[in-house]
């Protein structure tokens, strides 16, 4: 089973740790694209700061990110699940899982990244600023760097198991699952039901998915099909409806 997570735009910058070692990251076939993107990002941010901010879509209060990007080669690194600190990761709270659930997380989770393509929770990376919709000078869009290598990696990483794709639209566009994985790929949507009316939630969508993943990892279940995943989540107390290759999780409280 392979579970794909979106990154968080907000990241925690470690105060100490070894510098980035691209060769140590999981999914080594992505290294050539990582090298290209890293060089382009560092070069951009080491130049005109105002231009870099414009290209990266950053505001005046985010100027420090340009200096950090410019020095990424020397920045301290930490586990990816300590770098990404958004709502989903806070609700998932990998650090507090027991040893067995934490091992399952390290083996089954992969986090989408505009800079690194995919990383495992235990991969050591620095805090960086690069969104999936950016177009870098002379290199082009971030998506164009990942569109070919990522589907191959997804196929290899999923193996004979299912693929649970929880990436946001921006990061799903970096590399869609190949056609032969379609029948084993499932996405998920969170709906808030109030007085008979259902609405798609945004901010709390991530928090709910984090809680769902935590429960799934703690359960030790290894669903092999969409129906099996639905049954597991129902057994864990969630209200889940299947819509083709998508599971809708319906919640009354957010």
Q: What is the pLDDT of residues 172-197, one digit of tens each?
A: 999 999 999 989 999 999 998 777 78
Helix (H) or strand (E) holding 218: helix 203-219
More confident residue, 200 or 23: 23
Confidence of residue 113 (pLDDT cuts 50, 70, 90): very high
Using CA atoms, how far apart are residues 27 and 154, in angstroms rounded to an integer?
A: 10
Encoded tokens for 21 = 């070692």
CA distance 5 to 121: 10
Residue 146 has pLDDT above 90, yes or no: yes
Instruction: Average the pLDDT over 206-218 and give the result.
Output: 95
pTM of the model: 0.94
Instruction: Taking residues 222-236, report their average pLDDT.
Output: 96
The domain limits of the chain are: 2-251
Look-up of token digits 């049954």: 231
Q: How confident is the model at residue 254 (pLDDT cuts 50, 70, 90)?
A: low
Rounded Cα distance, 90 and 110, in Å: 16
């Amino acid at each position: 089973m392979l579970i794909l997570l979106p990154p968080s735009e907000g990241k925690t910058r470690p105060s100490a740790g070894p510098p980035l070692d691209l060769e140590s990251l999981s999914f080594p076939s992505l290294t050539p694209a990582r090298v290209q993107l890293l060089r382009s990002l560092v070069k951009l941010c080491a130049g005109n700061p105002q231009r870099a901010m414009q290209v990266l879509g950053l505001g005046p209060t985010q100027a420090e990110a340009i200096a950090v990007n410019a020095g990424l080669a020397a920045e301290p690194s930490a586990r990816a699940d300590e770098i990404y600190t958004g709502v989903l990761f806070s609700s998932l709270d990998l650090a507090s899982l027991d040893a067995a659930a934490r091992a399952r997380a390290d083996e089954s989770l992969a986090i989408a990244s505009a800079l690194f393509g995919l990383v495992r929770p235990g991969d050591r990376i620095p805090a960086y600023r690069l969104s999936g919709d950016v177009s870098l000078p002379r290199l082009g869009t971030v998506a164009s760097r990942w569109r070919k290598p990522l589907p191959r990696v997804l196929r290899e990483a999923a193996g004979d198991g299912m693929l649970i794709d929880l990436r946001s639209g921006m990061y799903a566009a970096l590399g869609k699952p190949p056609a032969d994985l379609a029948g084993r790929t499932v996405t998920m949507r969170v709906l808030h039901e109030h007085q008979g009316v259902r609405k798609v939630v945004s901010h709390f969508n991530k928090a709910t998915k984090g809680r769902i993943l935590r429960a799934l990892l703690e359960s030790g279940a290894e669903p092999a099909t969409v129906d099996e995943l639905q049954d597991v989540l129902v057994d864990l107390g969630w209200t889940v409806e299947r819509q083709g290759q998508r599971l809708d999780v319906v919640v009354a409280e957010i």
